[in-house]
């Protein structure tokens, strides 16, 4: 995606990258996030959901 001649990651890639960064810097066992489009949030990034923490 090119905006004003500057390359930037897709919103989905940015969400996944930020979740990975937060996982390494926080003690939260589960993180999730997503992108808001047209007023609708779609959860698309998950970290820690495949673990023994969740029953």
Token pair listed for 38: 């047209």
The CA distance from 5 to 16, in Å, is 24
pLDDT of residue 2: 52
Determine the Cα–Cα distance for residues 31 and 33; give it in Å rounded to an integer: 7
| C-alpha distance from residue 36 to each of 1, 9, 21, 28 (Å) | 17, 16, 20, 23
Instruction: Walk along the chain (55 residues) and give the pLDDT tens digit of each residue.
Output: 555 667 877 899 999 999 999 999 999 988 999 999 999 999 999 998 887 766 6
Residues in the chain: 55
């Amino acid at each position: 995606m090119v905006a004003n001649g500057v390359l930037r990651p897709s919103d989905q890639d940015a969400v996944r990258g930020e979740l990975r960064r937060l996982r390494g810097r926080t003690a939260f066992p589960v993180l999730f996030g997503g992108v808001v489009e047209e007023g609708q949030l779609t959860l698309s990034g998950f970290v820690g959901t495949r673990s023994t923490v969740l029953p």
